[in-house]
């Protein structure tokens, strides 16, 4: 959606037909209700369905992935790309938003948009990789250092004039939806770290390199393990393999004590004077880990 945005029947909310005065209040940062934005039928009922769908999706991603995705996208940039089947349609500015029900029956929703704006990072990456246009965010800010839509549009049109960049244009639109910038950040990290990853023994071992696998073979520690939760022999072997500083991958299905093993790993690593970073694909798994660390008396070593 950050490079090929398209209107969804209920997953996006276009503010083009909204009440102009109420829309201005929303863009100025005031909380407004959907019924005020769209006071007349059938637009109001359609907008309420979209607001509910956006709220539900944003809440799902926040609870499962721990990321905030409800945003107001302002402006759509497009240009001709001979190497792609479709023309890019990339939002220009992104402003975090919240959508909450006004009452338990969800007869209306309150939308509030943050004044903090960011330039779509996927747009900047596409302009760089597809068109060779590379410039810093500072060049898009106004004299006060703010990212304001008129200034950003003017600068982008200067950097990519239509007679140089085939068909470059920006349409003035404002759409509420769910947008995740984290995948682009992950891609940028992978590109920046590619040389290190390519030469890393752990990555080579995961790929099946025999020498790297031999280098990663575990060795028993020369001292007792510092376990804070009960562990069976297989779980103890995992902690024993990590204690000397070795790397390994454990394939542990649900119900095999994954969380308590991670708690024991954290205890062992922290007791050795080291730091440990725990990541998870779902927020719920991290919450369960935090609960187990608290039950083991280790909540004071956690920075969430």
User: What was the pLDDT predicted at 266?
Assistant: 94
User: What was the pLDDT predicted at 221?
Assistant: 63
User: What was the pLDDT predicted at 208?
Assistant: 87
| Model confidence pLDDT, tens digit, residues 118-160 | 999 999 988 888 888 888 888 898 888 889 999 999 999 988 8
Range among 177-186, 198-207, 215-224 rated most confident:
177-186
Identify the DSSP state of 53. H
Residue 220 has pLDDT above 80, yes or no: no
Integer Cα distance of 218 and 242 in angstroms: 7
Tokens of 161: 């004039």
Percent of the chain topping pLDDT 70: 98
Integer Cα distance of 71 and 121 in angstroms: 14
Integer Cα distance of 100 and 295 in angstroms: 34
Work out whether strand 90-101 and strand 70-78 pair parallel, antiparallel, or are unpaired.
antiparallel
DSSP-assigned beta bridge partners for residue 94: 73, 118
| 248 sits in which H/E element | none
Integer Cα distance of 216 and 214 in angstroms: 5
Residue 104 — pLDDT band, cuts 50, 70, 90? very high
User: In the chain, what's the furthest Cα-to-Cα distance?
Assistant: 75
| 173 sits in which H/E element | strand 169-178
Integer Cα distance of 41 and 47 in angstroms: 10
Specify whether the CB–CB gap between 41 and 258 falls below 8 A: no
Lowest-confidence region among 34-38, 99-103, 244-248: 244-248
Residue 83 has pLDDT above 80, yes or no: no
Residue 57 — pLDDT band, cuts 50, 70, 90? very high
Q: What is the mean pLDDT of residues 251-261?
A: 90
Q: Which of 115, 67, 125, 112 is nearest to 94 (CA)?
A: 115
User: What was the pLDDT predicted at 150?
Assistant: 92
- Rounded to the nearest angstrom, the gap between the alpha carbon of residue 192 and the centroid of all alpha carbons in its chain is 18
User: What was the pLDDT predicted at 217?
Assistant: 62
Integer Cα distance of 31 and 2 in angstroms: 25
| Model confidence pLDDT, tens digit, residues 10-50 | 999 999 999 999 999 999 999 999 999 999 999 999 999 99
3-class DSSP assignment, residue 69: coil
């Amino acid at each position: 959606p950050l490079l090929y945005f398209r209107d969804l029947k209920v997953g996006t909310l276009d503010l083009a037909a909204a009440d102009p005065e109420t829309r201005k209040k929303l863009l100025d940062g005031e909380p407004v209700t959907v019924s005020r934005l769209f006071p007349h039928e059938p637009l109001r009922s359609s907008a309420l369905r979209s607001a509910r769908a956006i709220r539900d999706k944003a809440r799902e991603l926040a609870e499962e992935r721990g990321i905030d995705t409800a945003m107001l996208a302002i402006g759509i940039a497009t240009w001709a790309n001979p190497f792609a089947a479709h023309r890019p349609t990339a939002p220009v500015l992104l402003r975090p938003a919240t959508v909450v029900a006004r009452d338990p029956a969800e007869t209306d929703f309150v939308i509030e948009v943050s004044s903090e704006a960011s330039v779509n990072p996927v747009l900047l990456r596409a302009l760089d990789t597809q068109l060779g246009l590379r410039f810093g965010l500072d060049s898009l800010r106004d004299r006060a250092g703010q990212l304001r839509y008129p200034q950003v549009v003017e600068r982008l049109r200067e950097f990519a004039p239509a007679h140089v960049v085939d068909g470059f244009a920006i349409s003035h639109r404002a759409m509420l939806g769910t947008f995740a910038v984290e995948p682009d950040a992950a891609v940028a990290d992978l590109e920046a770290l590619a040389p290190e990853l390519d030469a890393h023994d752990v990555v080579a071992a995961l790929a099946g390199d025999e020498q790297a696998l031999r280098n990663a073979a575990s060795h028993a520690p020369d001292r007792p393990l510092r376990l804070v939760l009960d562990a069976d022999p297989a779980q103890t072997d995992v902690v024993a393999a990590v204690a000397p500083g070795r790397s390994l991958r454990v394939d542990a299905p649900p119900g095999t004590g994954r969380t308590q093993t991670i708690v024991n790993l954290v205890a062992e690593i922290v007791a050795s004077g080291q730091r440990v970073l725990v990541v998870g694909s779902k927020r719920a798994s991290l919450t369960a880990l935090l609960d187990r660390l608290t039950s083991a008396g280790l909540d004071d070593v956690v920075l969430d």
